[in-house]
Amino acid sequence: MNKKILSKKVKPVKSLMQILKKRSGRDNSGQISVRHQGGRQKRFYRIIDFKRDKRDVEAEVVRIERDPNRNVFIALVKYTDNELRYILCPNKLEVGDKVISSENAEIKIGNALALKNIPIGTLVHNVELYIGKGGQMIRSAGTAASVIAKEDKFVHLKLPSGAVQRFFKDCFATVGQLGNITFKDEIIGSAGRKRLMGVRPTVRGTAQNPRSHPHGGGEGRSGEGMHPKTPWGKSARGTRTRNKNKWSKSLIVKRRRK
C-alpha cells in the first residue's frame, strides 16, 4: 500500500468512533495483570466491520485512513444506501474500488464470501472462527492465509505462522492480503515514541532485586545462576503452555513447529 494515497488530516467519521479507555495493563481489581503497559497519547477507537454482515449490497471505497489502534490501514466504504463503515484495507485496494459481501461474490480483493466458495490457492484475511461471529484471525498488517484444501464440512487454511488449521466451510473470509506490508521494517527510532505508544520499559531479571525476580540479587554483575525462569518462577525455556484439552486442538492439522 502506497502511503501517498492515505487521506491526511481528515477527521474520522464521528458515528464510527467511540472513547477508548486506557487501563494501563490493570484488571478490575487495580492490579497489574499485563506488564509493560503505561501512559500513552489519547486516541479514539474506530469501529471496524469485522462481520461484513451487510450482504449483497455493493460499497465504494471513499478513502483510506491510518488507525492508531492497529498496524494495518482501514478503508472507509460507502454502501449504495449511503451507510458508512470501516473495513480492514487489503493490499492494492484503492479509492473508488467496489467491494461486496455475498455468498456469490466475485473472487476479487476486498470481497467477503464463505470459505467453501473460495478457490484453492486464494489468499484470504479476516477469517471467522465461529459462523457469523465476525473475523477473528489474520487481521494484522501484511498477513494472509492461503486456502490449500477442502474436506467435508471444513476448509484447510495455511496460516502466516506456517500451521495448517481447519475452519468451518460456512465461515466468511475476505479475499486478499492485508496492506501496509512494510510495517515490520519500520524503525521506532526513540524511547520517547515507544512511551507515547503506551509501552513501558522492559528490565532484565538479573538487573532486579531477588524479591522482584528469581534471577535478581548477587554482588555486582551476576548471571542467572539457575535454569531461566519467568518472574513468577515458572520455567522460561521449552515448557509448553497450550491447553491440551482445548476443543480447537482437533482443528489443527499441522503445527508451526515439528
pLDDT above 60 for 178: yes
pLDDT above 60 for 1: no
Note the pLDDT tens digit of each residue in 83-125: 999 999 999 999 999 999 999 899 999 999 999 999 999 999 9
Point out the least confidently predicted range of 109-113, 154-158, 249-253.
249-253
158 strand-pairing partners: 146, 164
21 SS3 class:
coil
Question: What separation in angstroms does the CA of 231 have from each of 6, 21, 198, 208?
Answer: 42, 28, 21, 10
Average pLDDT, the chain: 93
pTM equals: 0.88
Note the pLDDT tens digit of each residue in 26-41: 999 999 999 999 999 9
Give the pLDDT confidence score for residue 47 in this predicted structure.
97
113 strand-pairing partners: 173
Domains and CATH numbers, the chain: 3-182 (2.40.50.140), 203-252 (4.10.950.10)
Query: What DSSP designation does 253 have?
Result: E
Cα atoms in the 13 Å half-sphere on the side-chain side of 56: 2
- Which residues are CB-contacts of 247 (< 8 A; sequence separation ≥ 6)? none
In the chain, the amino acid numbered 8 is K
Give the H/E segment covering residue 194: helix 191-196
Helices (H) and strands (E) in the chain, counts: 1, 15
